Amino acid sequence: MTDATATVSTSLNAGSPGLAGRVAIVTGGASGIGEAIVGAFTAQGAQVAILDLAVEAAEGKVAAGQAAAAMACDVSDPDSITSAVAAVVARFGRIDILVNSAGLARLGAAEEVELSDWDLTLTVNLRGAFLISQQVGRQMITQGGGRIISLASQAATVALEGHLAYCASKSGLLGMTRVLALEWGRHGITANTISPTVVLTALGREFWNNPKGEALKEQIPTGRFALPEEIAAAAVFLAGDGAGMINGADLVVDGGYTIR
């Protein structure tokens, strides 16, 4: 057994206490899936910094004891990312986990998609994840390890009506993640994506509570949408010691929607 393998084996056999002592960044952690991941990581003992445009909502999570820090950050702005990542390192000394959850969708028929909507979607969902992964990755390389987890979607592998730019951005995230996994595995860094079906966030509940939602559910083998807590559980798993050999994977959490 190599030294690295023996260390992992010892840590797993000792039943290491979740994410105790880890420092995590969650972009988009003020709302929806990111918010659930922040809560789950904090419950597992991690110190979590929320990086979000919605800084007041993020500060509310800190005040409620659900996160350790809130930083204003626009992932479409490289300077904003640089400042926020530097602030996290200055405060906590390291970054063990990065979750890219900040994202948006602009829907419309392919022939009517505005260039501004295409650009915004690719800028936030894909370029934003690239920019912060690169900056945090440099820190993780210096440290000798880390976990990068990006929220993709079932839209990364199947076509969804009206989701032209969104599908393109999420497919891109899968390709980017595979290259990060390939290049940075040797530094002890893993990079993976999570691809949910519709998730019943506050917005999701509102948007899909109608006949269209019922019809979509019928196409999901498990017959229901996902809960934010189920996506958070997948993120906790990928961030934990037991997932150290999962690298470059897309963990599909879709009730089987994409298997046919």
Ligand X SMILES: NC(=O)c1ccc[n+]([C@@H]2O[C@H](COP(=O)([O-])OP(=O)(O)OC[C@H]3O[C@@H](n4cnc5c(N)ncnc54)[C@H](O)[C@@H]3O)[C@@H](O)[C@H]2O)c1
255 belongs to the binding site for ligand X (CB under 6 A): no
Q: Give the count of beta carbons closer than 10 Å to the beta carbon of residue 84.
A: 25
- For CA atoms 132, 137, 138, 140, the dihedral sign is positive
Q: Determine whether 166 is an active site residue.
A: yes
**Per-residue interface string for the shown chain with ligand X, residues 10-49, x marking contact by CB under 6 A:** -----------------xx-xxxxx---------------
The residue range among 7-15, 141-149, 180-188, 194-202 that interacts with ligand X, by the rule CB under 6 A, is 194-202
Q: Cα torsion for 104, 190, 130, 229, to the nearest 10°? A: 10
By CB under 6 A, name the one of 104, 141, 158, 216 that touches ligand X.
104
| CB of 46 vs ligand X, minimal distance in Å | 19
Helix (H) or strand (E) holding 175: helix 164-184
By CB under 6 A, name the one of 135, 177, 192, 201 that touches ligand X.
201
By CB under 6 A, name the one of 19, 53, 97, 181 that touches ligand X.
53
Tell me whether residue 30 or residue 189 sits nearer to ligand X (CB atom).
30
Q: 123: which DSSP letter?
A: I
196 belongs to the binding site for ligand X (CB under 6 A): yes
d(CA 30, CA 137) in angstroms, rounded, equals 23
d(CA 171, CA 157) in angstroms, rounded, equals 7
98 belongs to the binding site for ligand X (CB under 6 A): no
Candidate list 41, 92, 166, 184, residue with the active-site label: 166
DSSP class per residue in 16-75: --TTTT-EEEEETTTSHHHHHHHHHHHHTT-EEEEEES-HHHHHHHHHTTS-SEEEE--T
The residue range among 59-67, 84-92, 192-200, 216-224 that interacts with ligand X, by the rule CB under 6 A, is 192-200
- The residue count for binding ligand X (CB under 6 A) is 28
73 belongs to the binding site for ligand X (CB under 6 A): yes
Cα 236–chain centre separation: 11
d(CA 179, CA 185) in angstroms, rounded, equals 10
By CB under 6 A, name the one of 44, 47, 66, 76 that touches ligand X.
76
| CB of 157 vs ligand X, minimal distance in Å | 12
Q: Give the closest residue to 232 by CA, choosing from 35, 66, 53.
A: 35
Q: Interface with ligand X by CB under 6 A: which residues?
A: 27-28, 30-34, 52-54, 73-76, 101-104, 124, 128, 151, 153, 196, 198-199, 201, 203-204
Q: Give the residue numbers marked as catalytic.
A: 166
